[in-house]
């Protein structure tokens, strides 16, 4: 298919999609430059209309496909047996909650479809408005969908509590891997007994966030078994335009695995100066640690824990040592287990050709500075450097233990960037990743609040430090549940940035403002808090 026909096809299919179904089995997020398909059985980035690639970018102009399929995979040891499950070319999970190992929801129930909401849903019309209004009024907070606990009683109360908006548009679904037959259909192993709650969201902003989608997974062990040596992997088959000319790599400092074009021309798709796509590990599962450590969980920093990091990255490519794990047989589980642990699927060790030493994280070199082991260097194990071609990403976390009843989270950001060349696109991708990490941290800080003492008045505090560079913290307190906006203006009164726009409970809030997030230059600015009828403005100064 030529480029023009592909674009027409995309927009035809896009316009064909309606809102006739309440909570369908698959739906799309399209709030910004990324158009991505999501399924309620965990599959992702695969277009159900074409059975082909299902992540398009940039939808604002000349959209092309960037990913054929991706999804979350998990593996661990239960009673001495290796078990692996998740969603790749097949899925080992079914829609629905899991109450216990013998009781889980009917996958055909529309309660377990894709729930979709937009922040500005009240401004929509027609069938779109009907669907959003239904979803807002029937939000399934009682089975795990994120909600604002308006009455602070710790549970979802219909008619009182409200959906919690993540981003400007979000999708939510709940699934489980309680069916062993379904699990074996994937990679041949018994199921573990997990409930999976997933929120996919994005922002409609004209900055770096326009090229980012966030995926937050919550995994709950509903079985009676402890899972030892558990690891998570966000697997991907990235077809960056032309699937036959890709390279992959990993930036261990940023915790970013990525795919880029093997040369500076992506034939028939992105053309010259093709983009790069990345998977940024923003928040990984946690383990217990010393009291002085802090880790992220459930939207808050917590003392005495730490988030684990990426533990392995083994390239999937057309190469004698690498192959796709076979589907539907236990050999697929064993191949995956080797990938998760940093070995070739055969179990052979991975040798870095630039040092001749064994590594668990391959391709951690830098194609930009041409240092270390990266795609394209002449010396590779068993046959030399493979040419650009179709690739797979097998990046996995370090190990943790999941006891019965335990809950863990992982948050992934999918991002794209385009520079002045295929290699410069990696640099631009890293820049976006840095901004996204700062942004995500600032959003978490918003949730750090002291509810032990309920404030008796609204207050906006002076930012600290002030003057500042590169960041400052803005604090405020709310005495009652309110619709809140926190915005930044320049000296002429022009709105520069929206920091907060959501309904919040009574409490004390902190927001970390980084100048890199909003590309603020030095000078005088004003920040304004609106909460119900309360309005207060303060001045801040950014230094050079």
Q: Quick one: 459-542 is in which CATH superfamily?
A: Macroglobulin (MG2) domain (2.60.40.1930)
Measured CA to CA, the distance from residue 21 to residue 59 in angstroms comes to 24
12 pLDDT more than 70: no
Which residue in 241, 371, 397 sits closest to 308, CA to CA? Answer: 397
pLDDT at residue 381, rounded to an integer: 61
Q: Where in the chain is the domain with CATH 2.60.40.1930?
A: 459-542
Query: H/E element holding 446?
Result: helix 424-446
Q: Scan for tokens 């902190």, then name that residue.
A: 510
Average pLDDT over residues 337-351: 96
pLDDT band at 205 (very low <50, low <70, confident <90, very high): confident
Q: Which of 40, 41, 61, 64 minimizes the C-alpha distance to 52?
A: 64
CB burial of residue 155 (10 Å; 0-12, 13-18, 19+): exposed
pLDDT of residue 440: 87
Helix, strand, or coil (residue 331): helix
CA dihedral sign of residues 538, 440, 26, 196 = negative
Sign (positive/negative) of CA torsion 274, 275, 279, 280?
positive
Element (H, E) at 442: helix 424-446
- Give 419-470 pLDDT, tens digit per residue: 999 999 999 999 999 999 888 877 664 333 444 445 778 999 999 889 998 8
Q: Are 314 and 394 in contact (CB under 8 A)?
A: yes
d(CA 449, CA 301): 10
User: CATH assignment of 19-119+165-284+394-443?
Assistant: 2.70.98
444: left (phi over 0), alpha (psi -120 to 50) or beta: alpha
Spatial neighbors of 108 by CB under 8 A, at least 6 apart, are none
Looking at the chain, the whole-number percentage of residues with pLDDT higher than 70 is 92
Instruction: Provide mean pLDDT across the span 480-497.
Output: 90
CA–CA distances in Å: residue 297 to residues 14, 166, 316: 36, 16, 31
pLDDT score of 57 more than 60:
yes
Instruction: State residue 65 phi and psi, 5-degree precision.
Output: -80, 145
Model pTM score: 0.83
Residue 365's closest CA among 374, 353, 377?
Answer: 374
Tokens 């009683």 correspond to what residue?
Answer: 153
Using alpha carbons, list the distances in angstroms from residue 123 to 71, 138, 148, 218, 338: 33, 19, 21, 31, 50
- 217 CB-contact burial (10 Å; exposed 0-12 / middle 13-18 / buried 19+): buried
* Closest listed residue to residue 286, CA positions, set 403, 447, 408, 406: 408
- For residues 543 and 521, give the distance between their C-alpha atoms in angstroms, rounded to a whole number: 8
Question: In this model, does residue 316 exceed pLDDT 80?
Answer: yes
384 — pLDDT class (breaks 50, 70, 90): low
In this structure, what token pair is assigned to residue 239? 């077809």
pLDDT band at 17 (very low <50, low <70, confident <90, very high): very low
Residue 101 DSSP one-character state: T
Short-list 93, 95, 92, 94, CA closest to 325:
92
- What average pLDDT does the structure give for the chain? 90
Q: Residue 280's Cα: distance from chain center in Å?
A: 7
| Residue ranges matching CATH 2.70.98 in the chain | 19-119+165-284+394-443
**Two tokens at 353?**
């050709």
pLDDT-wise least confident of 158-167, 299-308, 347-356? 299-308
**Cα 302 to the center of its chain, rounded Å:** 21
Question: Phi and psi dihedrals of 7, rounded to 5?
Answer: -65, -45
**Which run of H or of E encompasses 194?**
strand 194-202
What single DSSP character describes residue 394? E
Predicted pLDDT of residue 328? 98
Question: Nearest-5° angle of CA 466, CA 208, CA 445?
Answer: 45
Q: Can you tell me the mean pLDDT for 379-395?
A: 82
Q: What is the predicted pLDDT for the residue at 16?
A: 42
List, for residues 235-267, the tens digit of each pLDDT value. 999 999 999 999 999 999 999 999 999 999 999
Lowest mean pLDDT among 53-62, 325-334, 465-474: 465-474
- Residue 157 bridge partners (DSSP): none
Whole-angstrom Cα distance, residue 315 to residue 342?
10
Work out the end-to-end distance of the chain between its first and last CA atoms, rounded to an integer number of angstroms: 51
The predicted structure's pLDDT at residue 206: 84
Reported as a pLDDT band with limits 50, 70 and 90, residue 10 is low
Tell me, what DSSP letter sits at residue 264? S
Concatenate the DSSP letters of all residues of 225-252 into one string.
S-EEEEEEEEEEE---SSGGGEEEEEET
Instruction: Find out whether 124 and 132 touch, Cβ atoms under 8 Å.
Output: yes
| Sign (positive or negative) of CA dihedral 282, 286, 289, 291 | positive
Are 310 and 165 in contact, with CB atoms under 8 Å apart? no
Is the pLDDT at 133 greater than 50, yes or no? yes
Beta bridge partners of 510: 475
262-309 residue pLDDT tens: 999 999 999 999 999 999 999 999 999 998 888 889 888 788 899 999
Q: How far is CA 142 from CA 96, 138, 151, 172, 458, in A?
A: 13, 10, 15, 13, 31
Give the other-Cβ count within 10 Å of 81's Cβ: 11
Q: What's the DSSP call for residue 463? A: P
Report pLDDT for 293.
Answer: 83
Please list the helix, strand and coil fractions of the chain in percent, rounded to the nearest 5, in that order. 15, 40, 40
Do residues 400 and 273 touch, judged by C-beta distance below 8 A? no
CB 198 within 8 A of CB 97: no
């Amino acid at each position: 298919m030529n480029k023009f026909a592909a674009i027409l096809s995309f927009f035809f299919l896009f316009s064909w999609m309606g809102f006739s179904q309440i909570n369908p089995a698959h739906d799309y997020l399209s709030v910004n430059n990324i158009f991505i398909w999501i399924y309620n059985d965990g599959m992702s980035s695969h277009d159900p209309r074409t059975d082909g690639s299902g992540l398009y970018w940039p939808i604002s102009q000349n959209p092309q496909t960037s990913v054929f399929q991706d999804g979350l995979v998990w593996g661990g040891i239960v009673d001495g047996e290796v078990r692996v499950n998740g969603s790749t070319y097949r899925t080992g999970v079914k829609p629905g909650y899991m109450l216990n190992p013998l009781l889980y929801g009917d996958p055909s129930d529309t309660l377990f479809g894709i729930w979709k909401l937009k922040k500005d849903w009240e401004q929509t019309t027609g069938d779109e408005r009907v669907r959003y209004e239904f979803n807002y009024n029937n939000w399934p907070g009682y089975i795990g969908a994120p909600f604002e606990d308006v009455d602070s009683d710790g549970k979802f109360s219909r008619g009182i509590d409200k959906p919690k908006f993540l981003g400007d548009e979000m999708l939510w679904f709940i699934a489980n891997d309680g069916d062993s037959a379904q699990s074996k259909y994937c990679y041949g192993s018994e199921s573990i007994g997990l409930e999976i709650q997933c929120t996919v969201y994005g922002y409609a902003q004209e900055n770096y966030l326009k090229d980012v989608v966030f995926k937050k997974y919550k995994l709950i062990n509903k079985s009676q078994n402890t899972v030892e040596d558990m690891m998570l992997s966000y697997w991907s088959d990235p077809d960056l335009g032309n699937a036959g000319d890709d390279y992959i790599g990993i930036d261990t400092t940023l915790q970013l695995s990525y795919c880029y074009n093997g040369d500076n021309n992506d034939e028939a798709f992105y053309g010259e100066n093709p983009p790069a796509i990345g998977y940024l590990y923003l928040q990984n599962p946690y383990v217990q640690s010393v009291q002085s450590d802090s880790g992220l969980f459930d939207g808050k920093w917590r003392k005495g824990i730490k988030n684990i990091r990426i533990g392995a990255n083994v390239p999937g490519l057309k190469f004698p040592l690498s192959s796709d794990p076979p589907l539907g047989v236990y050999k697929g589980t064993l191949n995956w287990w080797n990938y998760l642990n940093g070995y070739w699927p055969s179990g052979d060790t991975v040798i870095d050709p630039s040092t001749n030493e064994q590594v668990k994280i391959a391709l951690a070199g830098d194609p930009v500075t041409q240092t270390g082991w990266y795609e394209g260097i002449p010396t590779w194990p068993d046959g030399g450097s493979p040419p650009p071609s179709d690739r797979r990403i097998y990046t996995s976390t370090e190990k943790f233990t999941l006891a019965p009843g335990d809950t863990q989270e992982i948050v992934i950001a999918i991002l794209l960037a385009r520079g002045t060349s295929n290699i410069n696109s990696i640099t631009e991708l890293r820049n976006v990743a840095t901004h996204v990490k700062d942004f995500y941290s600032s959003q978490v800080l918003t949730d750090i609040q002291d509810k032990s003492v309920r404030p008796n008045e609204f207050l906006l505090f002076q930012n600290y430090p002030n003057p500042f560079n590169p960041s400052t913290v803005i604090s405020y307190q709310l005495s009652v549940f309110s619709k809140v906006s926190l915005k930044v203006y320049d000296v002429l009164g022009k709105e520069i940035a929206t920091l907060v726009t959501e309904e919040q409970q009574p409490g004390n809030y902190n927001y970390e403002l980084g100048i890199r997030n909003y590309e603020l230059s030095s000078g005088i600015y004003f920040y304004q808090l609106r909460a119900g009828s309360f309005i207060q403005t303060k001045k801040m100064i950014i230094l050079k």
